[in-house]
Amino acid sequence: MAEKVTIATVAAYAQVSRQTVSNVLNSPHIVRDETRRRVEEAIATLGYRANQAARQMRTGRSHLLAVRIEPTRDGINGSVLDRFLHGMTFAAAAAGYRVMLYTADDDRDEIKTFDNLLASYDLDGFVLTGTDHGDVRTRWLAERDVPFVTFGRPWDAPERHSWVDVDNAAGTAQATRRLIETGHRRIAFVGWPAGSGVGDDRRDGWQRTMKAYDLDPTGLDRGAPDGIAQGADCARDLLTTPDPPTAFVCVSDSLALGALQAAGGRKAVTGFDDTPVAQAIGLTSVSQPLADAAARCIDLLIHHLDGAPTGTHQVLLQPSLVVRTTA
């Protein structure tokens, strides 16, 4: 292991005081050019890197951001978080921050973890993936003035805090439009039961587009919990109606896969999230710009950290339709 090189080491090497080294690092403009060059050269030669722990003790900032990692829930949607995490880590590193992981069983447990993380590691901020109606976690954080950004907007109060989200409605609208343009008229929607902000938003996009083209969505709407079997059930149910649909816009790749199986491949189907499953079976799906979303989350969070803590910011990103063989 290389010797530990501190500010003192650099100072001695560059023949200046420790303070001057600190100035070069934190307020370069107040140091004379020639001195600064000498110090910078010493830093490079010695390979000096500031010790975060010491810096944190002094400044109270850890340069650490936290995000929760969830167990792959229903299996099919796990890669979404994966891509988001990678994007976050990359963007954070570019800004001089690091990402720390934590797990939690539920909201109450997560709040307990917030408390621990804050007390022990002095975390600078949190990125929450997803938020519910009346989220207790965001309230807890806000009450304590802990900086945070959510990926997913708060449905009950859009401007309460900063968030980044994908325009879900635009995604399903795009899928619906594509189906209409390729000749379909009876286009069904296989979604989640009403009540989830994201699901309702995606339903809206389908419904509005249908109406915009003077197509009647009545009776073409089904809702079920996420899952392949549920998607198949919904599709079968729709196919047995008097005037059955010729295409399905689905709220997730899981439901889409089910619909695809039920339809025997003879109907057009679109999914949502562009998961590996969609890529594997050639399912046309709405793709979220996850790396971009992650980067914007980091941007917003760091903006909160660095700049004035005044006001919140919202970012709405556009998804894109990845056309494959099923639509």
Partner DNA sequence: TTGTATGCGTTATCAC
Partner DNA sequence: GTGATAACGCATACAA
What is the binding site for DNA (CB under 7 A)?
A: 4, 6-8, 16-20, 22-23, 25-26, 30-32, 34-36, 48, 50-51, 54-55, 57-59
Query: What's at 270, amino acid-wise?
Result: T
Q: How far is the CB of 36 from DNA (least distance, A)?
A: 7
Q: Which does 35 bind (CB under 5 to 8 A by kind): DNA, its own copies, none?
A: DNA
Do 207 and 217 form a contact (C-beta atoms < 8 A)? yes
Q: How far is the CB of 55 from DNA (least distance, A)?
A: 4
Nearer to DNA, 46 or 100 (CB): 46
Query: What's at 275, amino acid-wise?
Result: T
For its own copies, which residue of 32, 44, 47, 325 counts as binding (CB under 8 A)?
47
Site for its own copies in 267-306 (CB under 8 A): 275-277, 279-281
Name 127's Cβ contacts closer than 8 Å, sequence gap at least 6.
Answer: 65, 66, 67, 88, 148, 149, 150, 151, 297, 298, 301
For its own copies, which residue of 10, 31, 42, 81 counts as binding (CB under 8 A)?
81
Nearer to its own copies, 69 or 194 (CB): 69
Q: How far is the CB of 223 from its own copies (least distance, A)?
A: 21
User: How far is it, in rounded angstroms, from Cα 253 to Cα 237?
Assistant: 19
Name 282's Cβ contacts closer than 8 Å, sequence gap at least 6.
Answer: 324, 325, 326
User: Which secondary structure element, helix H or strand E, spans residue 285, and what is its range?
Assistant: strand 284-287
User: Which residue in 121, 171, 174 sits closest to 146, CA to CA?
Assistant: 121
Do 274 and 285 form a contact (C-beta atoms < 8 A)? yes
Q: How far is the CB of 306 from DNA (least distance, A)?
A: 13
51 binds its own copies (CB under 8 A): yes
93 binds its own copies (CB under 8 A): yes
Give me the 189-228 binding string for its own copies, x by CB under 8 A, dash otherwise.
Answer: ---------------------------------------x
72 binds its own copies (CB under 8 A): yes
Q: Which residues pair with 322 in a beta bridge?
A: 285
Do 64 and 100 form a contact (C-beta atoms < 8 A)? yes
Strands 284-287 and 320-322: antiparallel
What value does the CA radius of gyration of the chain take, rounded to a whole number of Å?
25
Q: How far is the CB of 56 from DNA (least distance, A)?
A: 8
Q: Which does 145 bind (CB under 5 to 8 A by kind): DNA, its own copies, none?
A: its own copies
15 binds its own copies (CB under 8 A): no
Q: How far is the CB of 161 from its own copies (least distance, A)?
A: 17
Q: Which tokens hold the place of 294?
A: 């992650």
| Angle separating helix axes 197-212 and 168-181, nearest 10 degrees | 30
User: Which residue in 207, 196, 183 sits closest to 155, CA to CA?
Assistant: 196
For its own copies, which residue of 27, 120, 218, 325 counts as binding (CB under 8 A)?
120
Q: Which tokens hold the place of 171?
A: 């995604």
Phi, psi of 209 (to 5 degrees): -65, -40
Nearer to DNA, 51 or 182 (CB): 51
- Interacting span for its own copies (CB under 8 A) from 109-117, 129-137, 200-208, 263-271: 109-117
For its own copies, which residue of 3, 33, 34, 145 counts as binding (CB under 8 A)?
145
User: Which residue in 284, 272, 317 sits closest to 76, CA to CA?
Assistant: 272
Binding-site ranges for its own copies (CB under 8 A): 1-2, 47, 49-54, 56-57, 62, 64, 69-72, 75-79, 81-83, 85-86, 88-90, 93, 98-103, 115-117, 119-122, 144-146, 228, 254, 257, 275-277, 279-281
